[in-house]
């Protein structure tokens, strides 16, 4: 296990470096002058422009520019300043993190809380009316894009019924915060639960027909303990792994939800950053998500080994 | 193989013909049913999946509507203030008008062409790239395999949505310029860019799937037989292995069409996809989201179109999986 983790960690570091080269390369190759207005302003003499270019290192070849950036980014943890907000990127991003964590985190928890019982029940009572309803809803749930379900909720609960606000604003009062979070959490949460339910059901169906489950039943255990202790414990192993793998994807989902409900979180910061060509902010968020993906991949592998003694890495 | 009769398909009056039955006489030969190919069998199986059939019908209807509809429905797509703005559906405008007073149905037709084409072409790109990489990795094995799989792992770790947004935003303008200059169709540049980026960020699952299938089929005896009679690598890959791993590829491709449609719509919904004079369904939602309290229909129609299309495609994928999975043929 130890040796596996070390090898896995080294591969991950190489992967992350490669990803950073790709992302940096894309921004480097992009047309348009990083100097922005300075480049086209006729009042700026060419010598001055050249001097700024030299100073910013824009005349250096790609690998030197990349190296300088990587050094600052990885070794000094200096993420630069946001070009639009004029504050350090670290502060800018960290300021927006809590809202995203609150919305996406609650949505994820809601998704799991719905998906696990529904998926398990659905599998136990396969082809019952409950199973049919649940699978149909799950199918619809992951075919409906969040940007449409979000707009439908707004039409129903904000426009028609006028119960919930559809613009997220900072509130002191907990009740108001809760009220404006209901719709975004529901939209994201139900989407997550639709995906997870199918997975839980499939995994449970596979275990329920195993010999050891039949043995448990044959030796006269109560049905409840057969399901919960024997079948579910094993069925949940791949589910836990999938949950770990999906966590970073929640950030991606947050981009759209935050745009619909105008939530000032990370996803919103990313869109604003892209529209304003705010390279440091975009770079920090995009790369941050990559790190999350890589880290959670490792976590999923470890969880798999911890939960399932049959799995051995060496 | 073709003569195997399945228990579930004996609804016709023909007698089941089994391979190990006594040889039929010449008189009986005339009654032997036509041979059934794999695709024939799959189609019979697919037809029994009611929701998949419904999906196929809905999708065919949408395809016909968006490509033939504009020929009979004579309305301009981009014609601001031709009609009163933000009208609910009426007899004159079956889907109402948008906030700029343009006929919604005409825009739904036009947008459908783009959204569906993007979905189909992007899925094609990703499936072709994924199949190529997976086939090479699975067939050659060894260093090639581990290199290509590390490469795939790296792509899986890429943050898809942020990169998609970033690339389309950064390169859109120059693509439009380039295509405008060379081919006089700037919007085709956006189409090309979006299709390429969606395709190149979505091939990884297909590659893994194809590699796994190649690894298992490669060890089969008929491959050994083909090698022994001197089949070249090319014919081994394309003639002997690939046809045997097509089923999972087809299922993956179908589901990717739906995923690509959602991705393109998300891009447009965030205002980073097609320009505003190209009303894709996502782009129409983007335009409608600020007028929900005035005219909700402007959001409901394009949203329902995306939803129903993706639902139809996903059910078709489900049906195809059942039809093509040999374990499922009970």
Which pLDDT tens digit goes with each residue over B212-228? 888 888 888 888 888 88
Distances (CA, A) of B58 to B63, B71, B95, B314: 9, 20, 18, 12
Distances (CA, A) of B213 to A127, B155, B206, B225, B253: 31, 20, 10, 19, 15
Query: With 50 as the cut, is the pLDDT of residue B6 above it?
Result: no
Residue of chain A with shortest Cα separation from B155? A19
Query: A32 and B299 in contact by Cβ < 8 A?
Result: no
Q: Average pLDDT of chain A? A: 82
DSSP class of residue A70 equals: H
- pLDDT, tens digit, 9 for 90 and up, residues A62-120: 788 888 878 877 777 777 777 777 788 888 888 888 888 888 888 899 999 999 999 99
Return the C-alpha torsion angle A211, A217, A221, A227, nearest 10. Answer: 70
- pLDDT, tens digit, 9 for 90 and up, residues B275-291: 877 888 888 888 888 88
CB of B220 less than 8 A from some CB of A: no
Three-class SS of residue B97? Answer: strand
Query: With 50 as the cut, is the pLDDT of residue B132 above it?
Result: yes
How far apart CA B268 and CA B264 sit, in angstroms, is 6
User: Which of A19, A144, A256 is opposite residue B157, by nearest beta carbon?
Assistant: A19
Domains of chain A and CATH, by start? 2-89 (no CATH), 97-264 (1.10.3720.10)
pLDDT at A114: 93
How far apart CA B250 and CA B206 sit, in angstroms, is 10
Residues of A in contact with B269 (CB under 8 A): 147, 256, 259
Q: Which of B162, B266, B268, B307 to mutate to test the interface with A (most CBs of A within 10 A)?
A: B162
How far apart CA A148 and CA B299 sit, in angstroms, is 8
Return the C-alpha torsion angle A69, A70, A71, A72, nearest 10. Answer: 50
Instruction: Give the closest-approach CA distance of A256 to chain B in angstroms.
Output: 7
Query: B310 and A15 in contact by Cβ < 8 A?
Result: no
β-partners of residue A81 are A88
Give CA angle at B204 (A281, B196), nearest 5°: 65
Length of chain A: 314
DSSP string, B12-50: SSSPP--TTSPPPPHHHHTTSPPP--HHHHHHHHHHH-H
Closest by Cα among A2, A16, A79 to A293? A16
Query: With 60 as the cut, is the pLDDT of residue A272 above it?
Result: yes
Residues of B in contact with A250 (CB under 8 A): none
Return the C-alpha torsion angle B290, B295, B301, B306, nearest 10. Answer: 20
Are residues B88 and B97 in contact, defined by beta-carbon separation less than 8 angstroms?
Answer: no
Mean pLDDT check: name the lowest of A32-36, A111-115, A206-210.
A32-36
- CB-based contacts of A139, cutoff 8 Å, min separation 6: A194, A198, B311, B314, B315, B318
Band (pLDDT 50/70/90 cuts) for residue A25 is confident
Distances (CA, A) of A303 to A7, A229, A300, B162: 17, 19, 5, 28
Q: Dihedrals φ, ψ of A88, to 5°?
A: -55, 140
Scanning the structure block, which residue is given the tokens 């019952």?
A128
CB of A23 less than 8 A from some CB of B: yes
Domains of chain B and CATH, by start? 40-69+106-323 (1.10.3720.10)
DSSP string, A192-257: HHHHHHHHHHHHHHHHHTSHHHHHHHHTT--HHHIIIIIIIHHHHHHHHHHHHHHHHHHHHHHHHH
pTM recorded for the entire structure? 0.85
How many Cβ atoms are within 10 Å of A216's Cβ, its own excluded?
A: 19
Q: Tell me the residues of chain A between 193 and 222 that have a Cβ less than 8 Å away from chain B.
A: none
CB pairs under 8 A between A and B: 124
Tokens of B229: 């009679």
Band (pLDDT 50/70/90 cuts) for residue A36 is low
- pLDDT, tens digit, 9 for 90 and up, residues B171-200: 888 788 777 777 777 678 888 889 999 999
Query: B156 and A256 in contact by Cβ < 8 A?
Result: no
Residue of chain A with shortest Cα separation from B315? A139
Distances (CA, A) of A170 to A99, A179, A259: 9, 12, 16
Band (pLDDT 50/70/90 cuts) for residue A281 is confident
Length of chain B: 330
How far apart CA A82 and CA A89 sit, in angstroms, is 5
How far apart CA B303 and CA B296 sit, in angstroms, is 11
Instruction: Give the closest-approach CA distance of B127 to chain A in angstroms.
Output: 20
CB of A17 less than 8 A from some CB of B: no
Closest by Cα among A263, A78, A24 to A165? A263
Q: Tell me the residues of chain B between 140 and 179 that have a Cβ less than 8 Å away from chain A.
A: 150, 153-154, 156-163, 165-167, 169-171, 173-174
Instruction: Give the closest-approach CA distance of A140 to chain B in angstroms.
Output: 7
Residue of chain A with shortest Cα separation from B165? A274
Mean pLDDT check: name the lowest of A38-52, A136-150, B122-136, B261-275.
A38-52
Residues of A in contact with B176 (CB under 8 A): none
């Amino acid at each position: 296990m130890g040796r596996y983790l070390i090898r896995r960690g080294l591969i991950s570091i190489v992967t992350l470096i490669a990803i950073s080269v790709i992302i940096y390369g894309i921004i480097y190759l992009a047309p348009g002058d990083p100097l922005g207005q300075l480049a086209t302003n006729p009042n700026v003499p060419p010598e001055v422009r050249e001097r700024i270019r030299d100073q910013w290192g824009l005349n250096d070849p790609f690998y030197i520019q990349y190296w300088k950036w990587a050094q600052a980014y990885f070794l000094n943890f200096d993420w630069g300043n946001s070009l639009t907000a004029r504050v350090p990127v670290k502060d800018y991003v960290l300021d927006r993190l809590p809202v995203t964590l609150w919305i996406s985190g609650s949505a994820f928890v809601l998704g799991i809380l719905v998906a696990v019982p529904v998926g398990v029940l659905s599998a136990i009572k396969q082809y019952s009316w409950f199973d049919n309803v649940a699978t149909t809803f799950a199918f619809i749930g992951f075919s409906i894009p969040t940007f449409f379900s979000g707009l439908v909720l707004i039409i129903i609960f904000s426009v028609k019924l006028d119960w919930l606000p559809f613009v997220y604003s900072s509130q002191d009062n907990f009740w108001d915060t809760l009220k404006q979070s209901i719709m975004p959490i529901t939209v994201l949460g139900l989407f997550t639960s639709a995906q997870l339910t199918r997975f839980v059901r499939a995994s449970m169906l596979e275990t329920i027909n195993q010999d050891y489950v039949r043995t448990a039943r044959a030796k006269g255990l109560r049905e409840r303990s057969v399901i919960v202790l024997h079948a579910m414990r094993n069925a949940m192993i791949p589910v836990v792994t999938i949950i770990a793998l999906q966590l970073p994807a929640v950030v991606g989902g947050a981009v759209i939800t935050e745009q619909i409900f105008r939530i000032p979180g990370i996803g919103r910061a990313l869109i604003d950053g892209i529209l304003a060509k705010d390279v440091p902010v975009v770079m920090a968020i995009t790369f941050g998500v990559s790190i999350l993906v890589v880290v959670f991949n490792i976590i999923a592998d470890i969880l798999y080994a911890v939960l399932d003694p049959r799995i051995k890495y060496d | 193989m073709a003569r195997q009769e399945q228990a579930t398909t004996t609804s016709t009056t023909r007698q089941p013909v089994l391979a190990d039955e006594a040889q039929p006489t010449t008189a009986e030969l005339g009654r032997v049913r036509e041979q059934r190919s794999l695709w024939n069998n799959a189609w019979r199986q697919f037809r029994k999946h009611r929701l998949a059939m419904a999906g196929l019908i809905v999708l065919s209807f949408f395809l016909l509507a968006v490509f033939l509809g504009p020929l009979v429905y004579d309305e301009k797509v981009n014609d601001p203030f031709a009609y009163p703005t933000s009208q609910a559906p009426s007899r004159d405008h079956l889907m109402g008008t948008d906030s700029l007073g343009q006929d919604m149905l005409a825009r739904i037709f036009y947008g459908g062409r783009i959204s569906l084409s993007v979905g189909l072409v992007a899925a094609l790109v990703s499936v072709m790239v994924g199949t190529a990489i997976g086939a090479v990795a699975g067939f050659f094995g060894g260093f090639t395999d581990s290199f290509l799989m590390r490469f795939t792992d790296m792509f899986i770790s890429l943050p898809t949505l942020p990169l998609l947004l970033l690339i389309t935003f950064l390169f859109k303008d120059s693509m439009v310029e380039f295509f405008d200059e060379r081919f006089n169709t700037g919007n085709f540049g956006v189409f090309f860019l979006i299709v390429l980026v969606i395709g190149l960020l979505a091939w990884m699952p297909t590659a893994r799937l194809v590699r796994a299938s190649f690894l298992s089929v490669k060890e089969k005896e008929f491959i050994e037989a083909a090698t022994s009679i001197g089949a070249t690598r090319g014919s081994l890959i394309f003639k002997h292995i690939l046809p045997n791993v097509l089923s999972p590829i087809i299922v993956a491709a179908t589901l990717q069409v739906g995923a690509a449609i959602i991705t393109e719509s998300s891009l447009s919904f965030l205002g980073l996809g097609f320009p505003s004079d190209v009303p894709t369904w996502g782009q129409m939602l983007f335009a409608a989201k600020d007028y929900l309290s005035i005219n909700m229909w402007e959001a409901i129609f394009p949203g329902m179109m995306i939803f129903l299309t993706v639902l139809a495609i996903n059910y078709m994928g489900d049906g195809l999986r059942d039809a093509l999975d040999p374990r499922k043929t009970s």
